[in-house]
Amino acid sequence: MSLQPKKNTKDGQPTWGERDRLSVLNTDTRRLSAGAKVSGEALYSMDQRPEGMLFGRLVCVPVATAEFTLDLEPALAMDGVEGAIVLRKDKTLYNGQAVAAVAARTPELAEDAARAVKLEIKPLPWAVTAEQAMAERAPQVLGRRPNYGPRGRGDGTTGDEEETMLALEGAAYRVESEYHVPVQHHCSLETHGVVADYDGGEEATIYASTQSVFGIPGSAAREMDLSRKNVRCVVEHMGGGFGSKFSMDVAGKAACALAKETGRPVYVFNDREQEFQTSGNRSGSTQRIQAGVDEEGKLVAMHSEMEKLGGLGPGPGTRQPYIYDVAESFTREHSIHTNTDASRAMRAPGHPQVSFAMESTIDQLAYEAGIDLVEFRKLNLSDPVYHRQLDRVAREIGWADHPHKSAPGTGDGWTAEGIGFGVTIWGGGGYAGCGANVRIERDGGVISSIGVQDLGTGVRTLVAMIPAEEFGLTVEDVDARIGDSHLPQGVSSGGSVTTGSVSPVVKSAAWNARLAFAEHLAPILSCEPGNVTFADGKVFDRASPDRGLSWQDACAALPTEGLTANGEFVDDLQASGVHGAQAARVRVDLKTGQLTVLKMVAIQDSGLVLNPLTWRSQVNGAMIQALGQALLEERCMDPDLGLQINPNFGDYKIPGSLEIPELVAIIDEEDTRQAVIGVGEPPVIPGVGAIANALQNACDVRITSLPLTPDKILSAIASQS
């Protein structure tokens, strides 16, 4: 017997319920996988070792662009090598592009076999830097199309250039700067790849490191010439994607093809160097900005030109004047193509780049006009939400007592301290398309299922928390099942849509299960279904709360097969549209140029926050990622060799434990929307600008080229004195 709720109960549509009456949701809840992850018990896709698995390895061409010939025989002749395939015959277009793959019994053998493949390379002329791509007679990296031009979404021009220039001329204060943002890497600790579990039959299971469980079976089925319905994707735990893991990538394709060829499970994951060279990145850019304000400090004009450096791709389109109100604005955006792998979505694609240039411009104008940095922002942001958020972060960072509010400081000869600000914007809503079901077992068990992946954000925990709230149980009472294409449809995790897409459907399933259960229990409790109440592990008639059944006893009254309810998307349970503000306090060592971030503060309006603990983890992680982009991260290409010369975590530096400042993540409680909104992306945007601004605020050094490394800071200080 399957119980389904009757429609049109007096409960109507599901709602999240009043915040102060929630006992599980909106309460700090440790992620369910925390213990397993800390102990190492959690198996990531990369950790899967199906019986008989072979280790695959990609064969990559180690120059920027080349024609080549391949001979797989020397590898295939090696003892323990079970298969080899060709992945590409056309000329390669970027350093590290994979052209073949081998599979062997051990990872060491696979590496030896990959190096044994006879690869004869004829390097072709390359352009790996913007300067090379723009040089006369530069090789055209995309073939017929020139290296420079409008390419991507948002390329071309907006606004009236002539009007903008006229308005600029009339401005009371003007600034002009050129900003450089280098390519940043995603740095997922689990690299790109899959384990394709296959035994030569009609079915396969793909353990993928992916942001899109449901995007994998179709592509894997094509690679393996299997029916899509026979290919399952499982992602129990995955180690970070940040926008770079929506497809199987070449490693995944190679694993599938080698599994098909050998009739055995095959593992292929990038090594770290391949990961840096081939798995996408955040595009760089050069931006030239002229902007002006009137006597009162209102932005009257902004002229901005941007060249995006997306390698073979166009780079994302995000425009100036980012967030701020400007009377006359003109933008021109173009892409410059180079022989480097195409940029991909990376946590708020395109946003940190323009935010850095815009927030830097804002501070320079505020100093020109001699206006308090917070007041200047409020003057040029019409949305009052930003005003309260800026005031809040200003209070938290200690702005009131700060001596350098409208002019930069200089320090005491040894060190200097400064504060900087930035604002952010995002959507974060979900959309229909997911499915979910909640099952109540006769023995009291509750299973909440949706196939969606958890990138480390805490989705799994939400999937358990929502039914726990609905049934008056604890999160430990619910078995959350996720990361499996055999479960109800999930959503791809991009654009901060996961929480907004998943939570309403799980809520709906839990709600429907509760209504159906109430119907079933009403006769037993001798009350109306609408009076059946679930709280504190008990089920009772609202009119007589001291009588009733324990949850276990109530479940025992279910038929053998228990009770299962499905969910559907409920639009009102999610919302879109957020603001945010951040502040950074830094200390500069004037003798060494070392920039130390002492504290970062972020506030976000996020509607109803289902799990404040994982929400803060997301915001803290975003601040750390922004700190890395601000202080350390840069892909370094040698133009003469055509190589990235820092494709490892020794030379491509990301923040370590000693770089982490005091982090304060604040939920904007004045946002009373009773709807959930994703928070993954917006908090990564304003930190870079805020840190660069804090540097100038401390010691009057404006670095317009990221990252803000000691060599640049010290050179600037040295040229000051």
Crossing angle (nearest 10°) for helices 612-631 and 687-699: 50
Residues making up the chain, counted from first to last = 721
Q: Does 187 sit near another protein (CB under 8 A)?
A: no
Least distance from another protein to the Cβ atom of residue 66, Å: 12
Please tell me the count of residues contacting another protein according to CB under 8 A: 37
Edge-first strand listing for the sheet containing 662-667: 415-426, 578-589, 595-604, 662-667
**Among residues 62, 263, 427, 577, which is the contact residue for another protein, using CB under 8 A?**
62
**332/330 Cα distance (integer angstroms):** 7
Of 265 and 655, nearer to another protein (C-beta) is: 655
Contact 440, 563 (CB under 8 A): yes
The token pair that represents 301 in the structure block: 């004009």
Of 45 and 97, nearer to another protein (C-beta) is: 97
Q: What is the CA radius of gyration of the chain?
A: 28
**487/211 Cα distance (integer angstroms):** 16
Q: Please, what's the largest Cα pairwise distance for the chain?
A: 87
**425/672 Cα distance (integer angstroms):** 18
Contact 213, 490 (CB under 8 A): yes
Classified as helix, coil or strand, 332 is: strand
**Among residues 646, 693, 696, 704, which is the contact residue for another protein, using CB under 8 A?**
646
**Among residues 632, 663, 677, 679, which is the contact residue for another protein, using CB under 8 A?**
632
Least distance from another protein to the Cβ atom of residue 390, Å: 30
At a CB cut-off of 8 Å and minimum separation 6, what does 151 contact?
Answer: 314, 334, 335, 337
Q: Which stretch binds another protein (CB under 8 A): 181-189, 489-497, 507-515, 635-643?
A: 635-643
**449/443 Cα distance (integer angstroms):** 18
> Where in 652-711 is the site for another protein (CB under 8 A)?
653, 655-659, 709-711
Q: Does 71 sit near another protein (CB under 8 A)?
A: no
Q: Does 135 sit near another protein (CB under 8 A)?
A: no
Of 500 and 621, nearer to another protein (C-beta) is: 621
Beta strand 54-61 with 637-638 is unpaired
**Among residues 638, 662, 669, 670, which is the contact residue for another protein, using CB under 8 A?**
638
Q: Which stretch binds another protein (CB under 8 A): 31-39, 108-116, 524-532, 578-586?
A: 108-116
Least distance from another protein to the Cβ atom of residue 413, Å: 9
**104/270 Cα distance (integer angstroms):** 15
Of 363 and 633, nearer to another protein (C-beta) is: 633
The token pair that represents 290 in the structure block: 């002229």
* Per-position b or e across 519-550, b if 16+ CB within 10 A of its CB: bbbbeebebebeebbbeeebbbbeeeeeebbe
Q: Does 486 sit near another protein (CB under 8 A)?
A: no
**623/352 Cα distance (integer angstroms):** 12
Least distance from another protein to the Cβ atom of residue 656, Å: 2
Q: Does 467 sit near another protein (CB under 8 A)?
A: no
Q: Does 349 sit near another protein (CB under 8 A)?
A: no
Least distance from another protein to the Cβ atom of residue 271, Å: 10
Q: Does 218 sit near another protein (CB under 8 A)?
A: no
* Per-position b or e across 253-287, b if 16+ CB within 10 A of its CB: bbbbbbbbbbebbbbbbbbebbbbbbbbbbbbbbb
Task: Say how many CA atoms lie within 13 Å of 198 toward its Cβ.
Answer: 32
CA 384 distance to own-chain centroid: 27
**Among residues 18, 401, 412, 640, which is the contact residue for another protein, using CB under 8 A?**
640
Q: Which stretch binds another protein (CB under 8 A): 20-28, 242-250, 573-581, 651-659?
A: 651-659
Q: Does 77 sit near another protein (CB under 8 A)?
A: no
Q: Does 591 sit near another protein (CB under 8 A)?
A: yes
**225/579 Cα distance (integer angstroms):** 47
Least distance from another protein to the Cβ atom of residue 651, Å: 5
Q: Does 122 sit near another protein (CB under 8 A)?
A: no
Please give the torsion angle defined by the CA atoms of residues 78, 83, 87 and 91, in that order, rounded to the nearest 10 degrees.
20
Q: Does 63 sit near another protein (CB under 8 A)?
A: yes
Beta strand 231-234 with 415-426 is unpaired
DSSP 330-351: EEEEEEE--SSPPP---SSTTH
Q: Does 146 sit near another protein (CB under 8 A)?
A: no
Of 201 and 650, nearer to another protein (C-beta) is: 650
Contact 175, 368 (CB under 8 A): yes
- Other CB atoms within 10 Å distance of the CB of residue 27: 15
Q: Does 598 sit near another protein (CB under 8 A)?
A: no
Q: Which stretch binds another protein (CB under 8 A): 133-141, 142-150, 638-646, 677-685?
A: 638-646
Of 38 and 658, nearer to another protein (C-beta) is: 658
Of 108 and 176, nearer to another protein (C-beta) is: 108
Contact 693, 632 (CB under 8 A): no
**Among residues 166, 543, 556, 641, which is the contact residue for another protein, using CB under 8 A?**
641
Q: Does 248 sit near another protein (CB under 8 A)?
A: no
**250/667 Cα distance (integer angstroms):** 40
Q: Does 585 sit near another protein (CB under 8 A)?
A: no
**402/396 Cα distance (integer angstroms):** 12
Contact 249, 71 (CB under 8 A): no
**Among residues 594, 617, 620, 674, which is the contact residue for another protein, using CB under 8 A?**
594
Least distance from another protein to the Cβ atom of residue 93, Å: 17
Q: Does 643 sit near another protein (CB under 8 A)?
A: yes
Q: Does 80 sit near another protein (CB under 8 A)?
A: no
Least distance from another protein to the Cβ atom of residue 657, Å: 5
The token pair that represents 564 in the structure block: 């299962």
Q: Does 40 sit near another protein (CB under 8 A)?
A: no
Q: Does 189 sit near another protein (CB under 8 A)?
A: no
Q: Does 623 sit near another protein (CB under 8 A)?
A: no
Encoded amino acid at 174, one letter:
R
Of 9 and 596, nearer to another protein (C-beta) is: 596
Least distance from another protein to the Cβ atom of residue 631, Å: 8
Of 568 and 589, nearer to another protein (C-beta) is: 589
Q: Does 715 sit near another protein (CB under 8 A)?
A: yes
Beta strand 156-158 with 328-336 is antiparallel
Q: Does 108 sit near another protein (CB under 8 A)?
A: yes
Crossing angle (nearest 10°) for helices 216-224 and 249-262: 40
In the complex, the residues that contact another protein under the rule CB under 8 A are 62-63, 108, 111-112, 589-594, 596, 632, 636, 638, 640-641, 643, 645-647, 650-651, 653, 655-659, 709-712, 714-715, 717-718
